[in-house]
Chains A and B, each alone.
Chain A
Amino acid sequence: MASLIKSAFQAIKEKGIRNVVNELKEGGYGKCLLDGNLLQTKIHNIGATLVGVDQFGNKYYENMQCQYGRHRWVEYAKKDRYNASQVPPEWHGWLHHITDHTGDELLMLKPKRYSLEHRENFSGEGDEFIYHSKGHTLNPGQRDWTRYQPWQPTPKS
């Protein structure tokens, strides 16, 4: 604890108080005070190795000192709403101990022409996030359906 406070003072001395506050805010420490999960992750991160960062900014940590099976975790990029579907498929395997290849390694094996870009699950986030197939009643295209197209009187002659 003492070393933590010492290093904090060190940082303030080097960078100035404003920069340190900004850094803490960007790192999501502000939210940590309200959200225990985030704070727990932050504390957990101390001493862990950062294995990789994915395209969305999620950070993947590993700490071999931890109990086996709890030694890999993710710190989500979004601090306000985070859920497991934000992990892209290439990191999923690493994170769930399916494989020891990291997401960055797996990305190199990904065929170019396959698969859509990963999207997180937007269930419950509103109609605009819900996928409606082409024939679905709530598809915007379907809602513009008209039975017939009336003739528009345009003065021609």
Chain B
Amino acid sequence: MVCFNMYIFNRNGVCLHYSEWSRPKNVKDGAGTLVDDAKMMFGLLFSLKNVCTAIDPTREVKRPLGAPTPHGEGCSFRSFTTDCYKLHYLDSPSGIKIVLNTSKDVGSLEKQMWVIYSSLYCEYIVKNPLYTVGEPFECEQFVQKLNKFVATLG
């Protein structure tokens, strides 16, 4: 298994963190810049979530596409696979969104995504008193632990 890259967003679409382990196709050949790349990723997550909610067969009240989602409604997806890669997604109730792109030969990483959120993001970022909530971070300790953790996934 190969881990390609990881994004952490907050509810406002700010890309708090970006890690890259292997990215055969350069950003320059795709979105152009990392900022645009992150924006596209966030847009994809947001729209996909909206589509998932719109076609949800279990809910009686259908929401039209594009309408703002009221609190507590809407559903979230966990992952999707293309013929080239697999995207794993975790959406915490506090609006933190973690995206991990891996090769497609891997099963469910739900538990591992939760570990990234609870034992890495919460411990090393949120609890760091010098970190301003809502701003991008580059925390050495976090990156180290993350690299270690990702290495154990394969």
Partners in one complex: no
